[in-house]
Amino acid sequence: GENVEQHPSTLSVQEGDSAVIKCTYSDSASNYFPWYKQELGKRPQLIIDIRSNVGEKKDQRIAVTLNKTAKHFSLHITETQPEDSAVYFCAALGGGADGLTFGKGTHLIIQP
Amino acid sequence: DGGITQSPKYLFRKEGQNVTLSCEQNLNHDAMYWYRQDPGQGLRLIYYSQIVNDFQKGDIAEGYSVSREKKESFPLTVTSAQKNPTAFYLCASSALQGARNEQFFGPGTRLTVL
């Protein structure tokens, strides 16, 4: 089955700086890669996703890049703000299953 | 955030008891999922269903059971066979055929074994 590795587990950045979170996946047939943001005690919320037919997608301060050859994808947050503090999860949809496989999460801390 | 609900929000279970977690959606989604979340472990898939009266095991199905008698409902039973059931349980749903579209999550149920 699919295996997703996510790094780092904790990331602390100064407010206004950029943050990058990286994920790798194992199933070359995977074709859908969402990113979720989860605040403490709340449900995960989709913030951006990318499909395997594109290499990059942007939505205001958030962007995701995908390298299918290397089987990795990354989340980029620019001009970080205090409300960006949360746990972020990457996920991949494997070629043979219909449930997402999640990374273990990155706790993003924005320092004032 | 509306459209998919879970109950109860908190649930306490004695060892040896079965408990059932409710998940309902009014989004007319075909697919529904159950995930378990433990600290530092991310979300792990327990069961999923793409159509009424059909469901598939996920990565950690042992000790759990589900049913899908109605499109709107996908209850999860945590049986006494589940050795370490204390966790945060999240239900999700998505449109069309499976997870190739956005998954929407419910608010979760926090289960604690006493």
The identity of residue B63, as a single letter, is G
A75-84, A87-96, B70-79, B105-114: the lowest-pLDDT one: A87-96
- What B14-19 contacts at long range (C-beta under 8 Å, 24+ apart), as own/partner pairs, is B14/B113, B14/B114, B15/B80, B15/B113, B15/B114, B16/B80, B17/B80, B18/B77, B18/B78, B18/B79, B18/B80, B19/B77, B19/B78, B19/B111
Question: What pLDDT does residue B97 have?
Answer: 56
Contact A99 B48 (CB under 8 A): yes
Contact A45 B90 (CB under 8 A): no
A–B interface: beta-carbon pairs under 8 A: 59
Q: Which of A93, A99, A105 sits opposite B42 (nearest CB)?
A: A105
| pLDDT tens string B8-64 | 999 998 888 999 999 999 999 989 999 999 987 789 999 999 899 999 999 899 999
* Interface contact B93, partner A, CB < 8 A: no
* Interface contact A29, partner B, CB < 8 A: no
List all residues 6 or more positions away from A2 whose beta carbon is below 8 Å from its beta carbon. A25, A26, A27, A30, A92, A93, A94, A97, A101
Question: What pLDDT does residue A97 have?
Answer: 55
Question: What pLDDT does residue A85 have?
Answer: 97
| pLDDT tens string A70-95 | 999 999 999 999 999 999 999 998 76
Answer whether residue A25 shows pLDDT above 80.
Answer: yes
**Percentage of residues in chain B with pLDDT exceeding 90?**
70
Contact A104 B40 (CB under 8 A): yes
Question: What pLDDT does residue B99 have?
Answer: 46
**Residue B100 φ/ψ, nearest 5 degrees:** -80, 0
